[in-house]
Amino acid sequence: MNRTLAAVLATAVSTLGVLPAATARPADPPTPVVTTDNETPVLYDDDAGGNASGDDPAIWVHLGDSSRSIVIVTAKEGGLRVYDLESNELQSLSATPAPRADGVDGRYNNVDIAYDLRLGGERVDVAVVSDRYNDQLRFFVIDSAGADAATPLREVTAPEQAFLFNPDRVAVDEEHTAYGVAIWQPGDGSTYAAVTQEGTTMIATARIVARHGALAYTNVRRLEMPGSFALPDGTTWVPCEEPGIGPQLEGSAVDQRRGMLYAAQEDVGVWRVPLPLGRGEPKLIDRVADFGIHDVFNLDTEECDPVDPDATGFGGPNLVADAEGVDVYYASGRTGYVVVSSQGDDRFAVYSTVGTNRSLGTFKVAGVGVDDINGSDGLAITNRVVGDYRQGLLVTHDEPESGPGVDPDRDPTNFSYVDWGQVALALHLKVSTNAANDPRLG
């Protein structure tokens, strides 16, 4: 199904609520700082196997022995990496060609975990990965031994999967392809992937199914999100992008309890989108600080220049573009939190999953014996006990990695592990009792 959101909404203002006129705000209080001393080995963009640039993590929880849980990350043309809870590398998988007659080497962008799928008479957990160069999903079964397995991941992608957003290989090569990915498991035995498209405002969902001992997807539905916004001053704002590019979404996560997709539109803000697509109207729950500032793209510098350098945006104080990684933490009772990386100022914003998604504050991550977190792209959270992380774990991308001995000229990236208990203490948040026995709620 292909629905244009603009046809549903009379104006963007009806989605956003009433935008207040821009006014000067009092100085914000200091941002709380939490710490980490655990980070993965550095990835460089010129590593063997291509552009091994880190992007997005996922946490797989071993419910029988949490110390055997693993972290899976994407490294773009460099494929996938698997780490244990001490951030030691367990496995490196190259971005092999997709199993299609016209398949090319992959570019693995985002990853999420689907739990308890039926495959070949067994129940398995699966890492689901977006492949930008083939505009499709790739599937990797997770060995039940977790960190103790010799090879924790094994690909089980069915051959000849259709492109998610494009009609043919020629269109795929324009690279407006599968980008962000989030798993939705509504509790009826079905599993879906919600996927964003690079360079456009499109979101799609696809049902994951078993096919001849492999995993495939079907029933693709699409929803076009807004790309322009009515402002209180009577103007229409279109976020500045390079020619041919729309205000894209990438980071996303599903609140499994409520069937809500949270998706970050990088230059706009964070959306709450009811699932299945079309069930209700999306709501923009927060806006980046520069929301509404008119810019023009400079072809010479390939940057956006403000029309009025003194203009003030209509956005809030929590996010500085790009809004990037998104995930959900499930606390005790029905309390939950949406966490979003504010890439432009190295912070993380936290919102309630209930009611109007009110802001609960922001925090930063400082390194102890490792570098601070900068420019976070993807992030992942679990509320489960995992090893020494008794109240849950946050794993976040870090770019540039700037620790000792790192070569800054080679685009260094990596991932850091943060004790969620520190975040909860800093922002006075509830934590999980880990009473739930469903790993999707973690």
| pLDDT, tens only, 42-69 | 999 876 556 899 999 999 999 999 999 9
| Percent of residues, the chain, with pLDDT higher than 70 | 91
What would the pLDDT profile of 243-262 be if each residue is shown by its tens digit?
999 999 999 999 999 999 99
What integer pLDDT is reported at residue 428 of this predicted model?
Answer: 97
Q: Please state, rounded to an integer, the average pLDDT across all residues of the chain.
A: 92
Band of the pLDDT at 404, cuts 50, 70, 90?
confident
Residue whose structure tokens are 């939190």:
337
Per the model's pLDDT, the better-predicted residue between 12 and 211 turns out to be 211
CA 77 to chain centre: 18
Q: What is the structure's pLDDT at 4?
A: 43
pLDDT digits (tens, 9 = 90+) for 310-354: 999 999 999 999 999 999 999 988 899 999 999 999 999 999 999
**Domain total of the chain:** 1
Residue 22 banded pLDDT, cuts 50, 70, 90: very low
- Give the pLDDT score at 11: 38
Could you say which DSSP state residue 166 is in?
Answer: -
Closest listed residue to residue 399, CA positions, set 328, 338, 325: 325
Residue 363: predicted pLDDT? 98
Q: Per-residue pLDDT for 103 more than 60?
A: yes
Per-residue model confidence (pLDDT) at position 362? 98
> Cα(269)–Cα(23) distance, rounded to whole angstroms?
19
Provide the total of helices (H) and of strands (E) in the chain, helices listed first: 4, 30
Please name every residue paired with 83 in a beta bridge, in sequence order, or none if there are none. 71, 89
| pLDDT reported for residue 403 | 84
Per-residue pLDDT tens for 164-175?
999 999 999 999
pLDDT of residue 333: 84
Q: What is the maximum span of the chain, computed from C-alpha positions, in angstroms?
A: 63
pTM of the model: 0.93
Look up the CATH number of the domain holding residue 38. 2.120.10.30
pLDDT number for residue 261:
98
pLDDT digits (tens, 9 = 90+) for 124-142: 999 999 999 999 999 999 9
Are the beta carbons of 83 and 71 closer than 8 angstroms? yes
Supply the range of the domain harboring residue 106.
2-441
> 288, 315 in Cβ contact below 8 A?
yes
